[in-house]
Chain A
Amino acid sequence: MPKILIKNGLNAGKAIINSWASMFKAGLKLLVPYLVFFQLFVAPSSAADVSNESKLSIATASNFRPVLEQLRAAFFQQINNKEKNYQINISSASSGVIYAQILQGAPFQLFFSANTSFPEKLVASGHGMADTLVTYAIGKLVLVSRNKNNGSGSANPAEILFKAKRIAIANPRTAPYGIAAMEVIESLGVVDESKPKLVVGNNIAQAWQFFHSGNADVAIVAASLMSSPGQAEFKQEGISAIDLSPYLKHPVRQSLVATKPVGQLAQQFLGFMKTPTAKKIIVDGGYLLSPSDDYLTQ
């Protein structure tokens, strides 16, 4: 029985390979002239622009993305990018996801995390440059709810969490704001009541989407999400946001780190982050600045 099985398998395999081979040969007849054309006329011009000097890829925690985009715009304005044509690519995800990706070799040159431990871990494992690790912002955690659910306009977070039907937070396994949200829930003493009502988003942006779409009536998110340009119309819809910083034992210290020998464009951008223009954008975006950090008070 096994011998026949192997023989049948081999014959089937040979037949499949034969039909692939004949299709491949037919395809080659078309492919070779195309490749020749491509190499001669198209390829040379695309080889020139892949250099560290004119392209920068940044990975940021989801909560900081809107502010980072504003910083990029202001930076380009300052260096007059219309002539230089530099490119800064921004990718966003929850900090834990980016950390995992960098460990696997993702080509991000700067990592704006929502905490300090992920950048520190990258430095310890040799992926991050120790002298580039700085705290760029302190995050504000807020409890958002719709006023219509809170007729009495309660300003007591524990009460709001108690009465809520669905509480949206970011994933505590990968997002620092999710960890902070759990910390607040614990310190408010409403863990048992809140846990069955928790709805977990992949990252802070998805937690916000759950709330924004009306499916979660309460959410614990970063204050910056409320300040992002696209959400301005929300202020009229009667959303109340309560600052949860008093209930946080560990403030959300957001730090950045560079992963390669810092290129010229990266250095320019890091330099721009120290300017008053940049600081103002960060504060307007719903963050606080770290007073004890030399980096930001220079």
Chain B
Amino acid sequence: MNLLSSDIAALWLTLQLAAVTTIILMVIGAPLAWWLARSTSRFASVIEAMVALPLILPPTVIGFYLLIAFSPDNFLGGSWLALTGQSLAFTFSGLVIGSVIYSLPFVVQPLQSGFQSFDHKLLEAAETMGSGSFDRFFNLIIPLTRRAFATAALLGFAHTMGEFGVVLMIGGNIPGETQVLSIALYDHVEALDYQRAHWLAAGLLIFSFVLLVFLYGFNRNKGIRAG
């Protein structure tokens, strides 16, 4: 077993990145998906397209523009520098921003279709019985759209675990800070260290597979297909 501390650090960093990104995405994605599911305005299709963009754009495009945006000479990078005294590029925070954009459709879209197939009459009935917004959300919507929430969270997590192109462009390959698993793997392959590459690649493959088996098993068993 040839795993060095930098590989363990890469694993830990990747898990942290996926967790933080997923939490942020669930918090901002759920209201967004709810609005998209129920909105009748023409503006909604523009927002929907923007959400879907990271699905079809090469990650290197996202990374390229992010690097420009993160520059201290430009608005985003400059204001971040003024606020926190740190640069955005080559930091964990920069990666989080990149990952949030990159995995956005993987969280919003399952939530949106879950909400779309939700029966609104139930909400109205609950309201007539005196149930408040939070009560309706936590006790009515979430239980019935459990599958959508599980799918969104797990897909967002797994997708961020596998992020490569964006991190390649904005990461700077710093061990412990921005060297995620996929980058570490790439680094080993380029340096001809195939044994370490095998460990990382196989580990990531098995982990992703198990995650997906869990997700699909969960969805199948709890399948109230209408919700």
Contacts and interface: CB of A to CB of B under 8 A. Distances in A.
Nearest to B191: A173
A213 interface: yes
A14 B68 CA distance: 52
B90 A199 contact: yes
A171 interface: yes
A215 B72 contact: yes
A210 B172 contact: yes
B81 to A, nearest CB: 10
B187 interface: yes
A210 to B, nearest CB: 7
Contact of A198 (B71, B174, B189): B174
Interface residues of B, number: 20
Interface in A196-247: 198-202, 209-210, 213-216
Interface string B87-98: 101100000000
A171 B174 CA distance: 11
Given A166-B90, A199-B90, A209-B67, A100 B192 contact: yes
A215 B191 contact: no
A213 B64 CA distance: 10
A94 interface: yes
B67 A96 contact: no
Given A165-B87, A210-B89, A97 B190 contact: yes
B180 interface: no
Nearest to B193: A173
A94 B191 CA distance: 11
Nearest to B172: A199
Specify the main secondary structure of chain B where it touches its partner: loop
B165 to A, nearest CB: 12
Contacts of A168: 172
Contact of B73 (A97, A198, A210, A214): A214
B48 to A, nearest CB: 31
A70 interface: no
B67 A213 contact: yes
A126 B172 CA distance: 35
Contacts, number: 60
Contacts of A97: 190
B173 interface: yes
A94 B190 contact: yes
B175 to A, nearest CB: 9
B156 interface: no
B70 interface: yes
Given A200-B173, A200-B174, A96 B68 contact: no
A240 B173 CA distance: 26
B77 interface: yes
A202 B87 CA distance: 20
A215 B190 CA distance: 25
A199 B221 CA distance: 47
B221 to A, nearest CB: 16
Interface string B52-79: 0000000000000001101111100100
Contacts of A116: none
B168 interface: yes
Given A96-B191, A210-B89, A201 B71 contact: no
Nearest to A210: B172
A212 to B, nearest CB: 9
A171 B73 contact: no
Contact of B191 (A166, A174, A200): A174
A162 to B, nearest CB: 18
Tell me which of A165, A168, A174, A200 has the highest count of chain B C-beta atoms within 10 A of its own C-beta.
A200
A210 B68 CA distance: 9
A200 B190 contact: no
B190 A100 contact: yes
Contacts of B72: 214-215
Nearest to A203: B190
12 contacts: A97-B190, A166-B172, A173-B191, A199-B174, A200-B174, A201-B172, A213-B67, A214-B71, A214-B74, A214-B77, A215-B67, A216-B90
Interface of A: 94, 96-97, 100, 103, 165-166, 168, 171, 173-174, 198-202, 209-210, 213-216
Q: Across chains A and B, which 10 residue pairs bring their CB atoms closest together, nearest first?
A: A214-B71, A199-B172, A215-B89, A173-B191, A200-B173, A214-B73, A174-B190, A213-B71, A199-B90, A213-B67
